[in-house]
Structures are given as structure tokens and as C-alpha cells.
Amino acid sequence: MNRDNQFDVIVIGAGQAGPSLAVKFANIGKKVAIIERKLFGGTCVNTGCIPSKTLIASAEVAHIARRAQDFGILINGDIKADMKKVKVRKDDIVNKISSGLESWLKDTKNCTVFKGHAQFEDPYTIRVGDELLKGEKIFINVGARASVPPIEGLKKINYFTNSTIMDVDFIPEHLIIIGGSYIGLEFAQMYRRFGSNVTIIEKASRLIPREDADVSDTVKEILLAEGIDIRLNAECIELDKHDEKVIVKLDCKDSAKNITGSHLLLAIGRVANTQDLGLDKAGVEKDERDFIKVDDQLQTNVAHIWALGECNGKGAFTHTSYNDYEIVAANLIDNHSRRVSDRILTYALFLDPPLGRAGLTEAQVRSSGTKALLGKRPMTKVKRAVIKGETQGFMKIIVDAETKQILGAAVLGVGGDEIIQSILDVMYAKAPYTVIQNAVHIHPTVTELIPTMLEELKPL
């Protein structure tokens, strides 16, 4: 082996954890290799958070423009999305971030970038094309991809996943979305606002079934109000094609339950990119869902190999992947002990209005048997929401009746994705809810009503 191909650190995958870790090691003088087979920045930058939220921003402008008269503003003429321009805007933002990341890695001293598919040859050796790289420490950050389950008839259909829909520069006449969870719902509202007819098909009895029922029901009302068709309890989904149209059979028997659309998006979960890594040659163990098994500090069963980000099954978000980088860097470089179990679950659903979530759901607290108190406030009773003409949704918070610590919260309403974080910070501080209650907040904001909600706590 060429001596130049011996590294202190090899990072596989330039997603949300790998690049920062590679640069951190390189900056302390370690010889680092980072290998990326496709696009720098991985899912989030290229086919996930950044492009989807950029498209959502365009869709929101169309929506606000259509509502202009409600605010006394006159806009003459139809409001239409120019999808070619919408896509160019999205591509510009994505390309700048992805190429900026690639340049950052290439310009970092001690860091060598390899382009190609990486595979283990043995526990210390990685093959990239014809090259063999040896690493003392190896970090896997290979992420996940859209799951395409074997649905009957799928082979007949040209369908989109979250990746391929990013290339669309037209308005589908009728977009059918299979999957009524986070990704499916964001695309549903976005395309409805661009001008498509949209139908969401979900197997469960409610949308986003991991959320509390009141959250699911309110989200359903919000989407119905925008004219989105929602079909729940889809018992048996089968696909067919007729004259270039997509037919989705909802119970495989009764043709009255068929839906005909122009295009189909599959938004039914994600699978880890761990099948083609040669993990068996390194002796690295996976679980039954193909996630790489790791401990609380993200070390695999092989002592010199770690797995970060979505491929370890400990989080499915950009912020959890980045936090994995922080945990590994703290433990291996900065001499601070950080663990995955210190993390509080938090995320947003970027609908309009958004849902911000932190900690446990009401249902989880109820089933845990913890003595708890609940506060809830509709957005109709929040002046800022009234001023902005966005009174859909509510916020709720659950606190431990004995310790007074916050167990969980949901803010489904204007600004919910930002507001939740003021609650999250108090949860990290392990402070009692009375800290928020006694703080003076800015008027008129949504956050100023959190103390009022806390004054009205009732036993769960």
C-alpha cells in the first residue's frame, strides 16, 4: 500500500456530521481522509431540509399573495408559481451550500477528499475505486435514503421520491402522495400552494400518527382548509396506470375507492445506507433494521470504528447528526464526556403554521403513569396570531407535578418552530417551569402566552 494512503482518521460520507469531524481532526494535525460518493452535504443540503424549506418558502409567498385582500392589500391578476424560477432559486441555494462545503474540505490542511463509493476491505482498510486507504480510526456517516417498499404495481409507474421530486420544474396536475407523515405533509401543502391538486394517502387512522391525536386532527383541518384531499385507513394500497395517469387503489377491491392522479410521490420512510459498505468485512454489527449498532458515545462493537448520523438509528434529523459530531469530538478530542442519552428529542414539521415539538407527547406521559400537569392554549387566544391572521393551531405543555420540570411540549401555530426552543432550553437546564412563568416576555409575541398557559395547568 502507498504510504500516502495511511491516515489517522477516515470519514465515510460528507453528510451533516462527517465534514465537521474531518476538519476538527485535521485542525489538530491529524492526517484525515473524507470520502463522498455523491453530493457534499448529503441529504439535508441536496434533497432534504434545505431544498424542501426553500421550496416551502416560495409556496408560502404564493399563499400570502393569495390572501393579500384579507389584509387590505390589492394584487391585480392571478397568483401563479413559475416552477422553472422556483427551481432555479432552490438550485442556487443548494449548490452554493454544497460547493461551499466541498471547498471547505478541500482547502483544509491535512484533509484529503476522495470522491467515490467507500467499502470496507477489512477492519482498517477502505476501498474507494482502485484506491485502498488505511485508517487508525474510522467514522461512518453514510446517512439514509427514501424507502421504496414493494407495493403491488409500482413497477408500472414513474414515481417520485424526496430526491427525484427535487428535479421537478412544472406543476403536477394532481399529485398523489403515499405517506401522511412529516415529509409527505410538507410536500402536500407546498404543491397545493404551487397550484396542484393533492391527495394524501395514509395507512394509519390519522396523519403523523406518532404525534398526539389533537396535533394530528388539527394538522388535518389545516390541510383540508387548503383543499387537500386526505384518505386515511388505506388498508391495502395497489398501483396501476391508465393513459399515463396513476391509479391508486385504496382497498384493492372496491374500485369506487380508486384515486386517479397525474403523478405519485412516495414518502414512506427511510432506510440506512448500510447494505453496500462491506460492514461484514470489518465485523461491524447492525440491528434488525439495518442501522449500525452503537453505544451511548457512538462507538460500534469494533473499538476503532464509530457511526454518526441517521445510519445509527439514534436520530433522523440534521441536528441529531450534527450533535453526533459534537459528541464524538467532545469525547475523542476535547476531553469532555458527552452522550446521546443527554439529548432531548426535538424537531419541527415545517407546515404553515409549523409544529415545534420537544420531549414527550401527552400520550407518552399518560402511559408512563407520571403524575403530571397539562396546559393548553388555542392560537385564537394569542394576540400575535390574531394580528397576523394566523389563528390555526394551539400550544400545549406537560410538566411533572412533583419536580415541576417540563416533560414535553408542542407548539402548532405561527412561529412554532422557533418558539419551542425557549421551552427546550429550560428543559436542558432541568429548571422548573416556574422560571418561564416568572420571566417577562416581549409583547405582542406568541411566547408571551406561555406563562399564561403555565398559570392554567390542570392535572393530566
Beta bridge partners of 176: 199, 264
Count of positions on this chain that bind ligand FAD (CB under 6 A): 35
Which of 48-56, 208-216, 328-336, 431-439 is the region at the interface with ligand FAD (rule: CB under 6 A)? 48-56
Measured from the CB of residue 166, what is the shortest distance to ligand FAD in angstroms?
Answer: 9
Nearest distance, CB of residue 106 and ligand FAD, angstroms: 16
Report in angstroms how near the CB of residue 58 gets to ligand FAD at its nearest: 15
Residue 326 interacts with ligand FAD (CB under 6 A)? no
In the list 44, 176, 282, 453, the residue contacting ligand FAD (rule: CB under 6 A) is 44
Rounded least distance, CB 366 to ligand FAD, Å:
27
Q: Does 318 bind ligand FAD (CB under 6 A)?
A: yes
Residues numbered 72-101 forming contacts with ligand FAD, rule: CB under 6 A: none
406 part of the interface to ligand FAD, by CB under 6 A: no
Pick the binder of ligand FAD from 22, 25, 33, 36 (CB under 6 A).
36
Q: Is 52 near ligand FAD (CB under 6 A)?
A: yes
Cβ closest to ligand FAD, residue 315 vs residue 375 = 315
CA angle (412, 218, 49) in 5-degree steps? 50
In the bound state with ligand FAD, the residue whose beta carbon lies nearer, of 45 and 373, is 45
Q: Determine the interface stretch with ligand FAD among 21-29, 37-45, 66-74, 192-200 (rule: CB under 6 A).
A: 37-45
Q: Which is nearer to ligand FAD, 190 or 237 (CB)?
A: 190
* Closer of 43 and 392 to ligand FAD (Cβ): 43
- Contact region for ligand FAD (CB under 6 A) — 6-14, 67-75, 79-87, 93-101? 6-14
Which residue in the block uniquely carries the three cell numbers 419551542?
420
Give the residue, chosen from 16, 181, 189, 300, that forms a contact with ligand FAD under the rule CB under 6 A.
16
Residue 443 designated active-site = yes
Determine if 143 is a binding residue for ligand FAD (CB under 6 A): yes
Q: Which of 30, 31, 38, 89 binds ligand FAD (CB under 6 A)?
A: 38
- Can you give the chain as a three-state secondary structure string? CCHHHEEEEEEECCCCCHHHHHHHHHHCCCCEEEEECCCCCHHHHHCCHHHHHHHHHHHHHHHHHHCHHHHCCCCCCCCCCCHHHHHHHHHHHHHHHHHHHHHHHHCCCCEEEEECCEEEEECCEEEECCEEEEEEEEEECCCEEECCCCCECHHHCCEECCCHHHHCCCCCCEEEEECCCHHHHHHHHHHHHHCCEEEEECCCCCCCCCCCHHHHHHHHHHHHHCCCEEECCCCCCEEEEECCEEEEECCCCCHHHEEEECEEEECCCEEECCCCCCHHHHCCCECCCCCECCCCCCECCCCCEEECHHHHCCCCCHHHHHHHHHHHHHHHCCCCCCCHHHCCCEEEECCCCCEEEEECCHHHHHHHCCCEEEEEEEHHHCHHHHHCCCCCCEEEEEEECCCCEEEEEEEECCCHHHHHHHHHHHHHCCCECHHHHHCCCCCCCCCCHHHHHHHCCEEC
Q: Name the minimum Å distance from CB 4 to ligand FAD.
A: 20
Q: Give the orientation angle of helix 49-66 with respect to helix 83-106, to 10 degrees.
A: 150
How many C-alpha atoms does 176 have within 13 Å on its Cβ side?
24
Residue 140 as a binder of ligand FAD (CB under 6 A): the answer is no
Q: Shortest approach of ligand FAD to residue 424 CB, angstroms?
A: 14
Q: Which one of residues 48, 184, 261, 393 is an interface residue with ligand FAD (CB under 6 A)? A: 48
Residues 277 and 321: their CA atoms lie apart, in Å, by: 19
Using CB under 6 A, which of 19, 42, 353, 415 touches ligand FAD? 42
- To ligand FAD, the closest distance from the beta carbon of 175 in angstroms equals 14
Which residue among the candidates 263, 319, 441, 443 is catalytic per the annotation?
A: 443
| Minimum distance, C-beta of residue 158 to ligand FAD, in the bound complex (Å) | 19
User: What contacts 440, CB < 8 A, 6 or more positions away?
Assistant: none
Distance of closest approach, residue 294 Cβ to ligand FAD, in angstroms: 13
Judged by CB under 6 A, which of 5, 7, 15, 81 binds ligand FAD?
15
* The three cell numbers locating residue 16: 451533516
| Cβ atoms 301, 285 nearer than 8 A | yes
* Residues in region 99-128 near ligand FAD by CB under 6 A: 117-118
Residues labelled as active-site residues = 443
> Which residue ranges make up the site for ligand FAD (CB under 6 A)?
12-17, 35-39, 42-44, 48-49, 52-53, 117-118, 141-143, 162, 183, 273, 277, 309-310, 316-319, 321, 350
